[in-house]
Structure 1
Amino acid sequence: MKVLIAPDSFKGSLTSLQAANAMERGVLKAAFSANAVVEVYKIPMADGGEGTVEAVICAAGGRIVKTRVLDPLGRTINSFFGVLSDGTAVIEMAAASGLNLLKPGERNPMVTTTYGTGQLIRSALDHGCRKLIIGIGGSATNDGGVGMAQALGVKFLDAEGKNIGFGGGELSKIERIDISGLDPRVKGADIVVACDVKNVLCGPQGASAVYGPQKGATPEMVEILDENLRHLAEVIKVDLGKDIAEVPGSGAAGGLGAALMAFLNSKLRPGIEIMMDITHFSDRVSNANLIITGEGCTDYQTLFGKVPFGIGQVAKRFNKPVICISGSLGEDYEQLYDAGITALFSIINRPMTLEEAMERGEELLEKVSENVFRLYLSREVR
């Protein structure tokens, strides 16, 4: 029997690799008890956020390149990106500009910058990479990707012809954009952005209104940031001839999606699709008897392109059963039954706090995986 294990990360608790390992241990314990011969194949998944590089390198092979960049507040930190065997660079903006790099009291999208993400891109180009996959989940920023572009040589000039500073609060000062210094290697690069967010740049469904508060924005800040992104889009339209404000995904990562399209001519694709392409996922599913997936919280939002949904869609084509084991099951998770998921389970086995569940995530996931697979094996024996 072949079991394919392909979870997303359990954010704040387990990386996708840690989750896959816990699921594997549970499956193998059940198999040992039942004296069943089981082959386990693990493909840790990711959607472009924190853990994307680890997941891709684990699933497809490659190496990690370490480098130094500026964090969201302009402090120098250790960072990294991945390089696949074919020379493709895999970058996660969370490794340079992520919310995970800040303490709660440091969150302030008026001043945080994506400059470090631009440094990661530049470093990948320095290493000879000409195809780049950039995951843009988990950002701490709302600067419209201006910092990223600055790191690659673009100048954003104020009324006096001076460069503006870092952060979303500076965007209102932009009078002119000078792209003459943009790293010329960008033009010859094939850049794909792993992005599951469909939000536009501005307005009620824009970057500032929807995601600003979790990055530390007050209601007053949200208004300023939204207007500043609108101003940035207008200057881009005038100086670059590109109208990106209403393009789905332009509001991803505080507007980084817009900048990647405007300055790097990037293409946005759902992160799960990119992962599946890299790992030849359809082939793995076609050869499996059972697929096990999961994520931190499964609810109706999972239907909007998250990992279990993507896996369910592929499994449905091959008529393969899919079990989803998640940290919790939220509102309308039952809708996933029609999306190719056979059964859904939570790792919570008794009343407990969120903190306890996250601390014990690995242990709980292993136990539920064992129990679920015991049931599956009993059905197979009959």
Structure 2
Amino acid sequence: MRIVVAMDSFKGSLSSMEANQAVMHALDGHEVIAIPISDGGEGFLDAWFTTHEDATVVEEVVPCLDGVERTARFGFEPSTKHAVIEVAETTGLTLLSHVDPWRYSSIGVGHQIVQALDCGASVITVGLGGSGTIDGGKGLLEALGVRFFDTFGSVLSTIPHQLHEVASIDWSGLDPRVRNVEWRIASDVRNPLIGENGAAHVFGPQKGLAADEVIRYDEILESYANCFEQDMRIWQGGGAAGGIGFAFLQLGATYMKGIEEVVKWSKMEELLKEADWLITGEGKFDAQSLEGKAPYGLARLAHTYEVPTLVFTGQSDYTSHVESGIVAIFPIVSRVMTLEEAIWEAAPLLTNAVRRVRHVIEKAPRQ
């Protein structure tokens, strides 16, 4: 059988490439093509490196979301002057031992942008997802030379971000090279910055906002957005990565679906035309997955070529999704265990889950 394996990351346990490898261990004897996948979050950079042979890895020490300096990567392709930045490298939840939405900053993303500009980048694509911040992109703009003031005219700090104190903005120090860049942001969400579908309401709790803080934080984001000349409070994608999308929209960025970018890079359509099965999955397959996350997007693409899809996941309320070509969804947990155990044992659990259903793959060839 010819099987395309394209697993998204299992956040906190497996990267896309590690998940692909775990699946491949169960499919010996078959022709398996593994493709790293991301919808803009973790793995976005690896997916780009895998499909761009001339790209170079740029590693630099930068201050990350909590102010701690860490080594972070981005990609640069000299021939096209294209840089690719993954927000999770410097602002990812996985970097933190505890969450603090009132403190953490997107400053690391801004530092990586400066480094990309120093390399000569004229096109910058940023993968949004997996962030631990809700600073509306204030930190990254500060790294690019923008200053934020309170009502007394004092410059505000970057960490803690003091978003609730922002009263005015000075753009005069903005790095002039920023205006000559083609900005592109890739994400799996279209949420705006504010409102019931905005950054605070939808993503705030996972970044540490208490239930009774959400409405207040949404009001803070609206007040912050009102300080910008361009009213982009309800533009799609502005709420991605805790409002980092909003900052890039202010710079003139074009929004695109992350999975569509990765599909284009990997020539996934050509691979699926000749495939018998697609195997994909992620840490949790739920209603949000059906809003455009990577496994769902890939399944729909495979379905157009009559290729059936199997989804392997840590958790799901679904058993299939026939409309998109997903014939079965398999949770990988095989016994009662704690969340910590499931995260720690994710790779062998995934391998064993695929082994358990291998007979389905072998006895039900493509129609």
State if a TM-score over 0.5 links the two structures: yes
- Is the counterpart of residue 179 in structure 1 residue 171 in structure 2? yes
Amino acid at match of 1:71: C
3-state secondary structure, aligned to 1:26: coil
Answer with 183-192 or 265-274: which moved more. Answer: 183-192
Q: CA deviation at 1:55?
A: 2.9
Instruction: State the identity %.
Output: 37
Answer with 57-66 or 294-303: which moved more. Answer: 57-66
Q: CA deviation at 1:137?
A: 0.8
Aligned equivalent of 1:99, options 93, 101, 104: 93
Q: Distance in 2 between matches of 1:227 and 1:298?
A: 31
Pair 346,44 (structure 1): closer, same or farther in 2 beyond 3 Å = same
Aligned equivalent of 1:89, options 83, 92, 115: 83
| TM-score of the superposed pair, with normalisation by structure 1 | 0.89
**Structure 1 residues 282-293: aligned runs within 5 Å:** 282-293=269-280
3-state secondary structure, aligned to 2:32: strand
The residue number in structure 1 matching 2:323 is: 338
Q: Distance in 2 between matches of 1:308 and 1:267?
A: 23
**Structure 1 residues 71-220: aligned runs within 5 Å:** 71-84=64-77, 86-104=80-98, 107-166=99-158, 170-219=162-211
Q: Distance in 2 between matches of 1:379 and 1:331?
A: 24
Per-residue CA deviation, residues 200-236 of structure 1 (Å, 9 max, x unaligned), is 2223322122222322223454344222211111111
| TM-score of the superposed pair, with normalisation by structure 2 | 0.92
Aligned equivalent of 2:240, options 252, 265, 277: 252
Answer with 312-321 or 175-184: which moved more. Answer: 175-184
Q: Distance in 2 between matches of 1:367 and 1:327?
A: 13
- Alpha-carbon contact 1:118-1:147 (below 8 Å) kept: yes
Aligned equivalent of 1:233, options 225, 240, 248: 225
- Is the counterpart of residue 356 in structure 1 residue 341 in structure 2? yes
Q: Distance in 1 between matches of 2:4 and 2:21?
A: 12
Q: Distance in 2 between matches of 1:74 and 1:361?
A: 30
Q: Distance in 2 between matches of 1:218 and 1:68?
A: 32
Q: Distance in 2 between matches of 1:320 and 1:206?
A: 35
Task: Report how many residues are paired.
Answer: 364
3-state secondary structure, aligned to 1:338: helix
- Alpha-carbon contact 1:7-1:19 (below 8 Å) kept: yes
Q: Distance in 2 between matches of 1:87 and 1:370?
A: 44
Answer with 14-23 or 357-366: which moved more. Answer: 357-366
CA RMSD between the two structures: 2.1
Pair 86,285 (structure 1): closer, same or farther in 2 beyond 3 Å = farther
